[in-house]
């Protein structure tokens, strides 16, 4: 076991874990941040997506020892009190989910995208979100929600 000082959603957390323990498992089991979902466990579905140092990463492919001093952001860190993040609001308004299982990963991937490109085209959103799987098939609405938040809105 080793001791890790993590910064999750802007707050410090101390975790004792095996170096190889996955970030996904640390979040869910040690920190009770269960918004980040386990899907495939193989980096294929995106349901476990979080932001590490502002970039979308698959927490099922990253060990806690790889996180180091990099800040981690999860879906729990987006809302401020009762105030939802604009992406969460847009997903609600566009009804960009059905069962909701993929949604935390979709929202975090979208946040990573908009951090890198605040004004993506529809094709750029499609491409960036291509590796996040929604078994309910709400892809079109997810793209609409992201474009609604992007600078300039839906630019086709």
Binding ligand FES (rule: CB under 6 A), the pick from 21, 28, 57, 58 is 58
Binding residues for ligand FES, rule CB under 6 A, total 22
CB atoms within 10 A of CB 114: 19
Q: Which two tokens stand for residue 99?
A: 């069962």
Binding ligand FES (rule: CB under 6 A), the pick from 135, 152, 154, 155 is 135
Q: Tell whether residue 88 is a contact of ligand FES (CB under 6 A).
A: no
Q: Which two tokens stand for residue 5?
A: 């000082």
Q: Tell whether residue 100 is a contact of ligand FES (CB under 6 A).
A: yes
CA dihedral 11, 82, 39, 1 (to 10 degrees): 20
Q: Between 127 and 155, name the residue whose CB sits nearer to ligand FES.
A: 127
138-156: b (≥16 Cβ within 10 Å) or e: bbebbbbbbbbbbeeeeee
Binding ligand FES (rule: CB under 6 A), the pick from 4, 25, 52, 97 is 97
Q: Tell whether residue 98 is a contact of ligand FES (CB under 6 A).
A: yes
């Amino acid at each position: 076991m080793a001791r890790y000082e993590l910064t999750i959603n802007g707050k410090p957390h101390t975790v004792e874990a095996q170096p190889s323990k996955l970030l996904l498992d640390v979040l869910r089991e040690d920190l009770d941040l269960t918004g980040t979902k386990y899907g495939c466990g193989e980096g294929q579905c995106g349901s476990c997506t979080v932001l590490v140092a502002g970039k979308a990463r698959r927490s099922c492919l990253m060990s806690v020892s790889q996180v180091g001093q990099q800040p981690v952001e999860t879906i729990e860190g987006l809302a401020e009190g009762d105030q939802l993040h604009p992406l969460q609001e847009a997903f609600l308004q566009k009804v960009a989910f059905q069962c909701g299982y993929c949604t935390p990963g979709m929202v975090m991937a979208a946040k990573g995208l908009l951090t890198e490109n605040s004004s993506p085209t529809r094709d750029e959103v499609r491409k960036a979100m291509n590796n996040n799987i929604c078994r309910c098939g709400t892809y079109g609405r997810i793209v609409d929600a992201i474009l609604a938040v992007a600078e300039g809105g839906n630019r086709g």
